[in-house]
Each structure stands twice: as C-alpha cells, then as structure tokens.
Amino acid sequence: MNLSISDNLAASLIAAPIMLPSLAGTMALIFRRRRRIVAAGISIGSTALQVLIAVALLIRASQSDPTPYAMGDWPAPFGIVLVLDQLAAWMLLLTSVVGFAVATHAALTKLDRKGWNFHPIFQFQLLGINGAFLTGDLFNLFVFFEVLLIASYGLILHGQGARRLTSGVQYVVVNLTGSTLFLVGLGILYGVTGTLNMADMAARGAQLAQGDRGLFLAGGLVLIAVFALKAALLPLHLWLPRAYSSTAPAVAALFAIMTKVGAYSIIRTTPLIFGDVAEPILLPAALGTIVLGFAGMLAARGLRDLAAFGLIGSTGTLLVAIALFDGDGLAAALYYLPHTTIAAALLFLTVDLIVRWRGVEGDAIVPTPRFAGASLLAFLFLAGGVALAGLPPLSGFFGKLLILDAALVSPHAAWIWGVILVTSLIAVVALARAGSTVFWKHDDTPELPEDREPPRLVQALPCLFLLALLVGLTVFAGPATRYTQGTAAQVLDKPLYLRSVLGTATTPSPNAQGDAP
Amino acid sequence: MSMEFLIATAIGALTWAGIYLSLRGRTFPVVLGVTMLSYAINLFLFAIGRLKVGAPPIFSEEAATYTDPLPQALVLTAIVISFGMSALVVVLSLRTFLETGTDQVDGEPDPAIDPLDGDRDEWIKRRNAHRIDMLGETRP
Amino acid sequence: MHLVLIAVLPFIGCLLLAAGGRLSRNAQTLVALAPVLAGLWFLGGTAPDILSGSVQSFRAEWVPALDLAFSLRLDGLAFLFTGLILGIGLLIVIYARFYLPGDEALGRFLSLLLLFQGAMVGISLSGNILLLLVFWELTSLSSFLLIGFRSGKAEGRQGARMALAVTGGGGLALIAGLLLLGHIAGTYELGALLARGETIQASPLYPAALILILLGCFTKSAQFPFHFWLPHAMAAPTPVSAYLHSATMVKAGVFLMARLWPVLAGTETWFYLVATTGLVTMLLAAVVGFFKQDLKGILAYSTVSHLGLMTMLLGFGTPGAAMAALFHLLNHALFKAALFMNAGIVDHEAGTRDIRKLGGLATLMPITATLGIVAAASMAGLPPLGGFLSKEMMLEEAAHTVWSGQDWLLPMLAVLAAAFSVAYSLRYIFHLYLGPKRESYPAKPHDPPLGLWAPSALLVVLTILVGLAPNTLTHALMVPAIDAVTGGRAPTFHPALWHGLTPALGMSVVAVAAGAFLLWRHTGLQRGWDVANLPDGKALFESLVERLVDAARIVSDAIHNGSLQRQLAVLFALAIALGAYGMIEGGYTPGTHETLPAHPVAIVAWLLLLSGIAAVLVAQQQRFLTLVFISVIGLVVSLAFVYLSAPDLALTQISVETVTILLMLLALNLLPKKPSRLSSMPLRLRDALIGLAGGGAVGFAAWAVMTREPNDPISTYHWENSVSGGGGHNVVNVTLVDFRGFDTFGEITVLGIAALTIFAMLQPAARGAAGQRLRAWIAELPRSPERHPMMFAVAARVLLPLATIVAIYIFLRGHNAPGGGFIAGLVASIAMLVQYMASGFEWTDARRRIDEHLLIGLGVTIAALTGLGSLIFGAPLFTSAFGHFHLPLLGDFELASAMAFDVGVGMTVIGAVMLALAELSHIAVRANKEDTGTKAAEAGPMDIDPARLRETNGETPA
C-alpha cells in the first residue's frame, strides 16, 4: 500500500508511543555529557508529548473498530502488527500520565541525580510498557516484556544501597524465571497453532484437533501464570513487597503500572485466545490476594510497605472484577484500574516526600518531631489513603460500587462482597493508624539528629497533579464508565477483533515494492 | 532412539538442572541455574520447529525442504536477550556482594523499626541506614 | 436550583477557609457564617412550597452505569433535618469563634466543620441512595478529622480512630445494604424506591438488606453494642461535640431509618431488631450516664440514651410512634446542643468538667446556671418544656406496645429508662449548679462573654417556647415531616402539656419520683457502680485492634520472609501444576509426525551433554571448573544447532558463549568461593523433585510438539517471500531484520539498557563499602612476574585487524548466508576485549577512541531511524526500502534499509558488550584511584587469569 505521506503519518501515530520514548531515551543518552538538565528536559518533554499522543489515540480508538498497523508492511499474521483498540488506548493514556508525574517528581526531587542514566532508562521503561499494550503479536509481547523488565531492573536499582541491591537480586532472578516460562508457553503455542499473531492464534486455537487442545491450554495457562506473576496475584505476589518497599518510592510509584501490565495481558489474552479455562483459578486467587494485601497493610511497619501492600490488595480487587469475565465486570475493572494505579502512585510519591521532609524516621510508622510541610503531606496522605481504601469522595468508591454491582450475578457474590467490604474496613483502620501516628502523634525528643531536606512545596506538584486526575476521574465518572463499558464490549467481541486484525490476511498483500510471488 | 527423543531428554535434563540450581541459596549457583534454563529454552524453542537434517533455511528455488525458519529467528532473539539478562544478573550479584559482603540470596524480614523497643541510638543508626537506602544515596 | 446551592455552599465555604489561612479570626468566622446563612436563606425560600406538602427535587446524571445520579430531593423530613443542621450549625460557628483559644487554628477548624456540615446536608437532601452513601462515608471521614482536631492528645487520636472504624465500618455494611435494596427495588432513586414497599418486603433478600442497612444506622447512631465510640468522641473540642452529638452525625442513623421507614418498617424482623436495640440502648445508656463524672460524659451517654429512644419509637413501626420519634428529634436537638455548649462554658470558665470538683456554681455564674438548669429540665422531660411533650408521646406509645406477648415489659422498662434520664438530668442540675459553693475551683468561675452564652440561650428560649406553645410553633414544621415518613397515616399532631389523666402522665410522674429518689441515693449507688466496674467498650476495641495487628504481623512476616528460594519454588510449582491442569482439561493424543533416526555421533554428543550437566551439579563448588563444564554444554548445544540445520544459531550461540564465560570469569573471581552454608537435605530433595517435575514437563512438551505434524506455520509465507519481498536468501536473517525487524529493534534496546544498567551499577562500586572490599581484594591479589605477556600482546595486536575484517565479512554476507550484524558485533567486541586482556586496561583505554554510551545511543537511533525512514516513502514503519531508489553511481541500493538496520544492531552490540566488560574490568583500578588518587598503572585489572586465581583462595574479606 502506498499511502500519501500525511495519511501514512497519521496512521503511523499508532507506533508513536513506542518510537517517541525510544528516540527520547537515546537522545537523553547521547546528550548526557551536557548538563543533566538536558536529559531531564528531554524526558519530561517526551512524557508530556506522550500524554497528548495518548489522548489523540484514545479519541481515534473510541471512534473506530480495533485498528491494526502492520510493521514493515507485512500483513497479519505473517508480520508483527500493532493493534490500537479502546483497551490499548486506555492503558496508554494511564501510562503516559503516571509517567509524566513520576518523571517530573524525579526531576524536582533530584532523584535522577542519585545515579547514572536515570532518564534514558526511564524512557525505555515507558517504551516497553507502551509496546506491551500495543502489540498484537505474542512473541513481540515477550520482547516488550523483556524491554520493560530490564528497564525496571535499572530503575529499581537506581541509587543502590545495600538493601536495594539485595532485594534487586531477588526481583531480577524471579522475573528472569518468569521470562523463561513465558518462552515455554509461547513455544508450545507456536508448536501447536503454527502462529504468533494473537488474532490468528485465537482463530486457529478455536479449531484445534481434540488431541492438540491439551497442549494448547497448557501453553496458555503457563502464560497466564507469567501474567499473574507480573500482576502479583497470590501466591505469586511474594516478590512485590520487598522489591517495591526497598526501591526509591518514586520508582515504585511508576511501577504501580507494572502490576497492571500483568492484569492487561490477562484481559487481552484470556477472553480472546484461551477462553474460560482460567476462570476457576483466577477468582479465588484474586480474593486471597485482597485479603493478604490489606492484612499486610495492617502489619506494615513502614509507609512504603503500607503502600506496597495496598498496591497488592487493590490489584487483587481489580483482578476479582476481571475474573468475572463478563461485560459489567470488565467495565468495572477498567474503570477501577486507572484509579488504583494513580492512587498507589500518589501514595508512593507522597511517601517519598515524607521521607525527604520528615528526617531521620524516614517512612517508619512512629511518632516524629514536628516537621515543616507536614500539613500538606498529611493532606496528600489522607487523599491517597482515601483513594486506595476506596472511600468517597474519590473515584475508588465508584470503582468498588461498580465491582460489587457487577459481582451480584456471580454465584460467589457473597464471598466477593464479604471480602471486598471487610478488607476495605481493614485498610481504613490501617491507614488511620499509620496516618495518625505519623502526622498527629508528636515525640519532641531533642536528641534526634537533624537530617531533613527543607520542604520545597514545588516538589508536591506531581502529587497534586495525580490527585487532580483522581478528582477528574470522579467528576467525569459518567463519561469514563461509558468508555469502559464500550471497551469491555469491544474486548469481549472476539469476532470483531479477528475481523479487524486479520481482515485481508487470507490473501497476503504484497509489500512495499510490490513484487511478491 | 530417535533424534526427537535425544533432544527432548536433553531439554528435560537441562531444565531439571536449571531449576535445581536456581533454587540454591547463593548467587553463583543461581546464575548457573538461570544460564542452564536459557540453554534449555533455546533448544526448546528451536525444537518446536520440528527437526530436520541438512535443510538450512537458506532460500533457493531447488531446495526441496527447509527447516522452519521462524523458531530459529525467535531463538536468536531469545539468545540475545538472555545474554543481556545474564550479563546483568552476573554483575548485579557481584555488585551486591561487594556492597553487602554476602552472596546469600535469601534475605531476612526487615528489622522492627520501633524506637521504643531497644536502644534508641542503635535505632537511629538503623533508621539512618534505612533512610539512605530509601533515598538512594550510596553510603557515606 | 436552590437545592444545589444549599447542598454545595458548605463545601465552597470549606474551600474558602482552607485557602484563606492568613485571615483574622473574625474574618474567618464571617467567611464561615456566610454559606450557612445563605443556606438557611435559600431553605427558607423553599419553605412555603415544602410546608404545603409538596416535594422539590433536582437531578443531574452522574454515573449512569450505576444508576447513580446527583439527585436532590427536599420534602418535609429533609426540610426539618436540613433546618436543624444549618440552624444549629450557625450557632456552633459563633460559639466556636469564642470558645477556641487563640493559639488553635480556627480557620482549619471551621473549614472542617463546614466540610462536615456539607456532608450532613448532603445526606438529608440526597434523592439517590448511592449519592447518600457518598455523603454518609464523607461524614465518617470529616468527623474523624474533627474529633482528632486536638491531635496532640492520645484520647483525641484514639477517639477519632475508633469513631472512624465503627461508623466507617457500619458505612461499608450500609453500602452492601443499600446496593441490595436498590437491586431489589430496581432503582436507586429515592422517590421511586419509596413507592416499592411491597416489592422490597416481599423479596427473599429483604432480611439481608435490612440487617446490613441497620448495621449502618446503628453504628452511626451509637446504638448498643456499637455505642462505645460516642463517649470517646468527646475528646473533640466542645463545639464539635455540641454539633455532632446533638443535631447531626448521630442523628444521621435515625434520619436514615426514618427516611426508609415507609419501605422497611412494619415487619416482625424490623420490630424486634430496631425496637429492641433502641430499648436496650435507651436503658443502658441512661444508667451509665447517671454514674459518669465528666459533664460531657454524662451528656454523651444521655445522647446515646435519647437516640435509643428515637430508634425504639421508629422500631414500633406505628405511624404514631414515628411521629413521636420525629418530634423528639427536634426537641432533643434543641436542649442537647444547648447543654453541650453549657458544659463547654463551665469547662472554659471553671477549668474542669469533673462534676465532683464542681457544684454551687449558680451564684457564681448565674446566666450559665439558668440556661443549664432549664435545658437539663427539658432533658429530664419536665413540664412545661419541649422535652416533656415528646417524652409524653414516647411513654404513650410504649404504654400500649406488646413485646413478644408481654404487655407489661416494654412500658416498665421505658419508665425505668425515663427515671434514670430524670436522675442524671437532675444530677446535672443539683451537683453542678445548686448545692453548697466550694471554697476552691481549678479556675475562678464567672459568666462568659455574650458570644459564648448567647447561642445556647437562643436554644433554651426555643425549648421553652416549644413547651408553652407547641402547636403554633412546630405544627407547620412537623406535620409535613411526619407525613413524609408515615405517608399521612399518622394520627393528628397536637402536642399539648395537658392531655388529661393519661397513663403516660402517670408513668412520667412515677419516672420523676423515681429519678429524684435515685439522685437522693446517688452516693451509695455510685460506690456500688464503681465496685462493679463494668468492662469498657473502648478497651475491648483497642485490644481487639492490637490483636488484629499482631495476628496480621505474624501471618504477613511468616509469608513474606523475603526468601528467593520460596518465591522461585512457588513459581515453578504453580506453573507446572497449571500446565498439567491444562493438559488434563484439554486432553492429549500422541502425534503422528515420523521421527528422525539418531545418528551415533548425536548419541555421543547427547551423552556428553548429560555428563556435562551432571558434572556441573557435582562440581558446583569449584567455580571455574563449573564454568568449563558449562561451556562444554554450550558447545554441544551449538553442535546440535549445526547438525539440525540452524547455522545462524550455532554461530550466535558460540559467540555469545565466549562473551558470557568471559564475563563470568571477570565477575566470579571477586565472589566468595566457599559456601557459607549449604541448604538442608530435605530442602535439596524438594528442589530436586520440583526440578524433576519441571524437566519432565518441559521435556514432554518438547516431545509432544516435535512428534506432531506442523499446523501449517506462518513461516511458509516467510520462506516464499524472503527473496522476493525481503531481498535476502537467509530466511532467518531476513526474518530478523525485516519480517520481524521490530522484535530485533526491541532486542537491541534490551541489550543497550542492560549495558546502561551495568554501567550505572558499577560506577559507584569503587566508593563506600564496595570500594573497601575491592581495595582489600587488590591488596591480596598475587602479582604474576610478567604482567603483559609479550607473545599474547603481539598476537592480540595482529588479531585485531583480522577479527575486524572477519566481522565485516560476516556482517555483509549476513543477509544471504549465516551471519549478520549481531554476530559481527560480537566478534568485533571480542577482538577488542582481547586487547584489554593482552595489554591491560590503562594502555588500551588510552587508545580507545569510542564512547560506548554514544555507540549504544547511535546504534539504537540508527535502527529506529531506519524504521522511521520508511515513513518518507509512504510505507509503514520498518518497511524494508530496498529497490525504492537506485542511484547510478553508487549502484543498486538493494538491502539499503535492512543493512542500515543491521549496522545499528552491530553498533549497539559492540557498545553494550564493551561498556559492560570494560566497566567490570576496571572497577578495581578505580577503587584504587578513589583511594590514592594516583594513576594506578600497576595492577592492570585484566591481569587476572583463572589459573592464578584458582590457587589463591580469593575469599575476599568483608
């Protein structure tokens, strides 16, 4: 196909969320010899631009069926296709806004000066995440998983220090193993279906010979295990608390998205390719995750542990909704997903500021001497806590209402309701304890050595930005839910996806120079 | 004995050793284990293209048969990626050892950080270290 | 439209106050008063309409998916309740202005107060029960902040946390309840819902919904056994208590019960749940209140008791009782707010709230005393005051209510409760104001400034007037409210001081007499009470939470013990289990693909491989030996690739092998050699078994796939289009740089990031603890007589150009024969590494012209730009562009783009490998430099050969 340049550029906007950070990353790398400010500028600028691109793509996606984009002009399923649909666009937008907030926060708090190559790696991180959301090819998904993983290794180790390194080793090894499993599942699937394209695999998987089905499902379930590992689903959540609570809180804030990558992959592959085989497993695991996550909040001794376990718990809530695998459940999940991500990010960024401004106690949940800027932080912490616990007036409350509402039809409704509501109470108690101890209970013992950064209120801007996003998600809950309902319908409409992606795949179109056999 | 059997058993053996080693308690065997696993996976991915002898995927009109090129391409990508990964994990384990003086991979839960139990100065020291880790400064 | 303003104004005021922190106290007070006054004004505007029985409403869609709309509904009941909230709120703001000492942040306090007020107004105006939930939980939150306002005090914090936990928890139950209710009724809109009583009460879900909703109401309205949070909420500044516990927060539960009375009340379940809870609460709280020593404690329990009274009345389920409940709602608000302010004044002026330290204040602070006495009399239900009227109604209703066949039980208990309520009211009067004056008080008691007593005075006047002229004053207000609840089924509302000799009158006479008697005997009773020392709800709650936390810690610490082994074991086991599950679910039949006969050489190689594996397992502890075995394994694998017609794989495997081993050599000689401890036997057995299962599973999967017919793989297309479409004969390479060039792009990105991360990791390694270890290690390093063996160095120099040529050759042929950018890059970088080895870091580094970061950056950029380049030709990204343009001089530009792409790959590879290995190889040197600052030419880092290090047990001291 030879489009006019402008049409082609417009079409290629789909690939922008991948190409832009890649170029930004390399630029930041090449110019790193100049003053650091350059790298920071490039990084922030790129994330800001990504927000705009994501918005454009969201609008485009909401107006049309899933749109494939054939990389190298090789038609699906033979080449790699990116697929832009409402789900992908939704995730891209989320990634870009959180990325923007964290990049800015890192620059404002000079976190990026605490080690080498922060901004390049940060951009590559976004590249990996965006790619994972966009690709319609299973092996390409693996590649992007690797990109985002290795970048995450770089970020999680950023700044180093003994505790961070030791937990880093664990994080890396566990995820290496996860990648290995990914390849096992992928290999089996290719061996049985002879394809890598998701849509094609869905089509072929549906008409497999009875004898091949076992292998097919085995491969699929191994993949789901890998996704569950990313999503920190019980019992594969063991890696998260340590990793997230020992890295720089700002990095952990960005990583709030990582668990969602796992959730996304489950949403993307399960209804499309593997069908309902995973359902009986997912729901109990998700419920267990909620319980353990919020119990962990109660047990937490530091604010970072608190946030990390809160992340686990809320992701569990999200997965419960996903595990319903019906329109309402998915719609609820997709509304709750950005909320919980932003809430967790907000909490982590706030904790980062607390650690900086509070002094020697760092993030320990213990009384502190009064410190400057405390009231602002208290407000942010309250907001983050309210959001994470799903209390009004923030969007988490609607998210929970939607999930409970959707769960009514489930045969396990009683369980779901019980767990979600009771754990919310536990979360409230945990947050109230932590908050009142840190901000209300003062211990003005003089002999504490002072090592505090003077509070620079500008550093709180990213937090306020995230809070504003939550408020927006609340005020515009109507449009948002309408969008997620549409998205859920689109995700569950398998024929539509196949039609859109494979449309002309039966007659392989010749590529650029048009001299195919 | 068929070629398929040899390959399958080889993959199995490599995987077994890889899993066993990666479950050891120190970084070196873990690294070995990961390496073993990546061998196993390379073989595995390659094998799912079915085995052929003397039919390299070099295109020519008269080539009667050829091995499935795609898995080979996948393996190449996988090899490169796992190369990068193992390089990273090797250096990381070295770096961690240098920083902490131990190469045990199983950490212990965080020490209780309550100023009220135990010696307060000790606690402040621990908190300082803790905070330095948190803020990502290398130790003074 | 006015409704919206009424609902929104408090929040605006809250924000204004939060913003205007700099304002003077008076200014802040005015800012706080404005929205309240405006609210009252607008409410008044609706009065003629509402009081004539009509309903005003406003609706704006919010979350259609939930049927949650921003819909407001103002009827008689809402009017009454909103009026109370705003009216008393107004007085509280004024009172607070004079009550709070100058050093407390009045602005923040008022802004929180308005936040709370907004939430309350929201509850009373909500026309959608889900919207009501939002405001409901908001009251829990804002009251948490208000109660904890004096955060310095421990009881303040605990009280606040307890209030939040109990009321918030109840709120969660309420969420479930109201969701169910709406589910049953098919709507969340209050107007529609109220019309579906039969549907709701007929539904099997009705009991569940009812219980959940009541949990919400009871916790909020401090009904037994959830009453314990309320007295401890008294830690709040008195204005808060006066507001939350007289007119607003605690009334929310009662309000909601009244609100849903039409659809929920009237059933057996309702009667026994609600009426009984109310009765018990009323009685118990009255008794406890009688024995409290803290003024606010007395008032707190009296509040609980009166809430019980209203709950019980609503529980009766008869229109008449509901009417009484609503009337008491009004009266109680009036006298209780006044009393709290009164107690606050005493605290403020006499310096204590402990009734034992007080007494005889009547002469010292006459105004306060008068107000307190009158209000307390109303609380006691003495004529001619408002309290008397509604208590009469209550007793009247109780008189002819039968509780499970016992017609005497309820009336008797009601009288008993009334007696105790008389008792504590009289105690408030006698022990506080009357009686002998003490010679000393904590502070010098005197009447407060006008601002402090005027608000309560107004309320006291009102309660008197209500008593004297109930009909003229309250009829217009009450009747619409009552109708809104009972749907007009209530008997005519004509409160009067004298109904003739009714049983109710008798009962209240008895109650008053008994109350007086109780007070007379107080001292003795008090002693008995103190001895009895009943368990305190708060203590129970606190210990419960503590135990919960401990339990959570035990569990959580046990599970998240941070052991990598556990994480991996779980992961492996789970993956295996899931795979097996899938196999069983889907079913399996052996394949039909015919197998290859095994060549003897192959079998030998196989044996070699197995023994290599065994050797690695055995020789785990001798590091360098294991590396040798590992490389043997790698060799066999690459042989297999060669034999099974995968030359590219073989080449890549070998070259990667070399570099990896090199890397490990460099890294390992720094790691400690001796294991500090070995894992226990059972543990190793477990791991062996997991490994066995895993190996078996993967091996089987491989076998199963290899032995079945290919399912016409997409690669056929690649084979056919390789030359025509990709312009190369080596299909694998064409796949890499063209069909799936995008994968390769990602792959080199990974490589680049890996290098950057390694760099970032090693840069600081020369400092701090790590640096010390390194220096210690160098000190231990044995010196070889000859640092840079001549032969080696020379050979390396010769090798460099050769290797470079080879690399270029491999690169060029890559597209048509085995080879390509990646392998070329590896070869080149190996050649350069040899220079480091031969001539040491300093020498080579001095001659190194390239900056690896730049190389990586450029490599990825080139690859990316090649991808983007195709845009210019109107083709999608990464479209191979050969044949697009043909320049006569430079000849055919076949492969142009693919080649450029491959160049990018090569550059990245070289950059990454060099960066990683070079960094690793000279951290030691840098450690020295950091130490001495001198250019440490000796101890060239690459002078480490395995042989030497095996002799020295390089156990590096920590």
Quick count: other Cβ atoms within 10 Å of Cβ A456? 13
Of A22, A298, A511, the CB nearest to C548: A298
Residue A17: pLDDT band (50, 70, 90) is: very high
Q: What pairing do the DSSP bridges indicate for beta strands C56-63 and C68-74?
A: antiparallel
A72: closest chain C residue by CA: C879
Distance, CA of C819 to chain centre: 54
Q: Name the percent of chain B in helix, strand, coil, to the closest 5.
A: 65, 5, 35
pLDDT at C727 > cutoff 90: no
pLDDT at C917 > cutoff 90: no
Q: Is the CB of B113 less than 8 angstroms away from the CB of A183? A: no
Tens of pLDDT, residues C496-541: 888 778 888 888 889 999 999 998 888 888 888 888 877 777 888 8
pLDDT at C802: 83
- Give the closest residue to C788 by CA, choosing from C827, C841, C830: C841
Per the listing, tokens 């829990």 go with C140
* Candidates A111, A366, A391, A482, partner chain C, best to mutate (most C CBs within 10 A): A391
Q: Is the CB of C565 less than 8 angstroms away from the CB of B77? A: no
Tens of pLDDT, residues C802-847: 888 888 888 777 666 666 788 888 888 888 877 777 766 666 666 6
Q: Per the structure block, which two tokens stand in for A26?
A: 């390399």
Least confident segment among C26-30, C145-149, C628-632, C881-885: C881-885
Residue A515 lies in a domain: no
C702: closest chain B residue by CA: B8
Q: Is the CB of A153 less than 8 angstroms away from the CB of B113? A: no
Q: Per the structure block, which two tokens stand in for C891?
A: 């000849």
pLDDT at B113: 39
Q: Is the CB of C749 less than 8 angstroms away from the CB of A127? A: yes
pLDDT at C282: 94
Tens of pLDDT, residues A275-312: 888 888 899 999 999 999 999 999 988 899 999 999 99
Q: What is the mean pLDDT of chain A?
A: 88
> Rounded to an integer, what distance in angstroms lies between the CA atom of residue C697 and that of residue C573?
11
Q: Is A55 on the interface with B (CB under 8 A)?
A: no
Q: Is A449 on the interface with C (CB under 8 A)?
A: no
Q: Per the structure block, which two tokens stand in for C921?
A: 């190889």
Residue A75 lies in a domain: yes
Average pLDDT over residues B99-120: 54
Tens of pLDDT, residues A153-198: 999 988 777 778 888 889 999 999 999 999 999 999 999 999 999 9
Tens of pLDDT, residues C774-789: 777 666 655 554 556 6
Distance, CA of C118 to chain centre: 24
Tens of pLDDT, residues C363-395: 888 899 999 999 999 999 888 888 888 888 888
C72 strand-pairing partners: C58, C126
Q: Is C704 on the interface with A (CB under 8 A)?
A: yes
pLDDT at A106 > cutoff 60: yes
* Distance of residue B50 Cα from the nearest chain C Cα, in angstroms: 5
A112: closest chain B residue by CA: B136
* Candidates B105, B125, B134, B137, partner chain A, best to mutate (most A CBs within 10 A): B134
Helix (H, G, I), strand (E, B) or coil at A447: coil
> Rounded to an integer, what distance in angstroms lies between the CA atom of residue C958 and that of residue C950?
20
Identify whether the C-beta of residue A195 lies closer than 8 Å to the C-beta of residue C589: no
* Distance of residue A118 Cα from the nearest chain C Cα, in angstroms: 9
Q: Is the CB of B9 less than 8 angstroms away from the CB of C602? A: no
Q: Is the CB of B127 less than 8 angstroms away from the CB of A360? A: yes
Please tell me the total count of domains within chain A. Answer: 1
Q: Long-range pairs for C632-641 at CB < 8 Å and ≥24 separation?
A: C632/C608, C633/B14, C633/B36, C633/B39, C633/C609, C634/B39, C636/C605, C636/C608, C636/C609, C636/C612, C637/B39, C637/B42, C637/B43, C637/C609, C639/C605, C640/B7, C640/B10, C640/B43, C640/C602, C640/C605, C641/B46
pLDDT at A246 > cutoff 60: yes
Identify whether the C-beta of residue A140 lies closer than 8 Å to the C-beta of residue C743: yes
Residue C883: pLDDT band (50, 70, 90) is: low
Identify whether the C-beta of residue C936 lies closer than 8 Å to the C-beta of residue C929: yes
Q: Is the CB of A160 less than 8 angstroms away from the CB of C764? A: yes
Per the listing, tokens 């009514």 go with A408
Residue C107: pLDDT band (50, 70, 90) is: confident
pLDDT at A20: 93
pLDDT at C783: 52
Identify whether the C-beta of residue C310 lies closer than 8 Å to the C-beta of residue C281: no
Tens of pLDDT, residues C567-612: 999 999 999 999 999 999 888 888 888 888 888 888 999 999 999 9
> Rounded to an integer, what distance in angstroms lies between the CA atom of residue C246 and that of residue C222?
12
pLDDT at C290 > cutoff 70: yes
**Backbone phi, psi, residue C948, to 5°:** -60, -40
Per the listing, tokens 């006047």 go with C461
Which chains, if any, share at least 3 CB pairs under 8 A with chain B?
A, C
> Rounded to an integer, what distance in angstroms lies between the CA atom of residue C837 and that of residue C796?
9
Q: What share of chain C has pLDDT > 70, as a percent?
A: 90
Q: Is the CB of C134 less than 8 angstroms away from the CB of A200? A: no
Prediction ipTM score: 0.91
> Rounded to an integer, what distance in angstroms lies between the CA atom of residue A15 and that of residue A20?
8
B80: closest chain C residue by CA: C747
> Which residues of A, range 357-386, sit inside 8 Å of B by Cβ?
360-364, 366
Using the CB atoms, write b or e for C514-542: b if 16+ within 10 Å: bbbebbeebeebeeebeeeeeeebbeebe
Give the type of residue at B60: S
* Candidates C645, C651, C720, partner chain B, best to mutate (most B CBs within 10 A): C645
pLDDT at B125 > cutoff 70: no
* Distance of residue C740 Cα from the nearest chain A Cα, in angstroms: 6
Residue A272 lies in a domain: yes
pLDDT at C261 > cutoff 50: yes
Tens of pLDDT, residues C118-150: 999 999 999 999 999 999 999 999 999 998 888
How many Cβ pairs closer than 8 A exist between chain A and B?
150
Residue A510 lies in a domain: no
pLDDT at C669: 67
CA distances from C506 to A429, B38, C287, C503, C510 (A): 49, 92, 21, 5, 6
C133: closest chain A residue by CA: A392
Using the CB atoms, write b or e for C142-155: b if 16+ within 10 Å: bbbbbbbbbbeeeb
Q: Is the CB of B137 less than 8 angstroms away from the CB of A114? A: yes
Residue A449 lies in a domain: yes
Average pLDDT over residues C294-318: 92
Q: Is the CB of C874 less than 8 angstroms away from the CB of A241? A: no
Residue A508 lies in a domain: no
Residue A511 lies in a domain: no
Domain interval for residue A309: 2-502
Q: Is A329 on the interface with C (CB under 8 A)?
A: no
pLDDT at C701: 94
pLDDT at A46: 94
* Candidates B26, B97, B133, partner chain A, best to mutate (most A CBs within 10 A): B133
Q: Is A235 on the interface with C (CB under 8 A)?
A: yes
Average pLDDT over residues C925-945: 48
> Rounded to an integer, what distance in angstroms lies between the CA atom of residue C92 and that of residue C95?
5
Residue A512 lies in a domain: no
Q: Per the structure block, which two tokens stand in for C175?
A: 């969420």
Going by C-beta distance under 8 Å and a sequence separation of 6 or more, which residues neighbour residue A378?
A: A435, A439
* Candidates B2, B11, B19, partner chain C, best to mutate (most C CBs within 10 A): B19
pLDDT at A35: 67
Helix A249-269 × helix A118-134 angle, to 10°? 20
Tens of pLDDT, residues B11-39: 999 999 999 999 988 888 888 899 999 99
